[in-house]
A = this chain, B = another copy of it.
Amino acid sequence: MAEDTRARILAACAAVIARSGLARFRMSDVAREAGVSIGLLAYHFGDRDGLLEAALEEVTASAMRRADAAPESRTASARLAALLCSEFGDDPAIRAGSTAWNELRAAAVFDRDRSAAVSRSTSAWQEAVRELVARTAPGTDAAGTALALTALVEGLSGRWLTGQLTAAEAQTTVRRTLAALGLGAERNGPRPPVPS
């Protein structure tokens, strides 16, 4: 089935982006990762730009799925902390997803279409955070807080991916900031990573 092949190719793309970054993105690396020929990439996606565009759409969709996958059956403040902390974790899939998303955000600085896609995904994530903030602390500036919290997580993600912080340190910083803003969860300390 060709759809299955396209999905495998896009997953291979995300893996190559997460491993080497966009600056060293090579069709040959994707073909090897997916176990197909270079010609097949061109057959399905037209050319290198077409492949990259489809791959970055997949990275965006994957980021939105991760944001939606936060656990349900908890207090709003616990869900808020879990949602924010789901960006970090020792699971290689979480790291790969965060790295690919980080690359997409960096590329979005130079490309209006990518910037639009990143903006939509970020707005959806921020809206989810805003709702949880509004439930946790009614009457506060939930939108402003949601902006600050999601930006904080992106900044911490950068520190984690470059090795300046561990995932646990990043999660602790999120929780301490939530506590300092009066949004603290019932218990503190690093949580096990949310599966991706």
Contact = CB atoms under 8 A, between A and B. Distances in A.
Given A23-B22, A155-B151, A141 B176 contact: yes
Interface residues of A, number: 45
A7 interface: no
Interface stretch (A33-41, A56-64, A157-165): A157-165
Report the copy number of this chain in the oligomer.
2
A115 interface: yes
Contacts of A42: none
A109 B177 CA distance: 25
Contact of A103 (B25, B99, B106, B163): B106
Ranked 6 nearest A-B pairs via Cβ: A151-B155, A155-B155, A106-B106, A154-B155, A23-B23, A108-B162
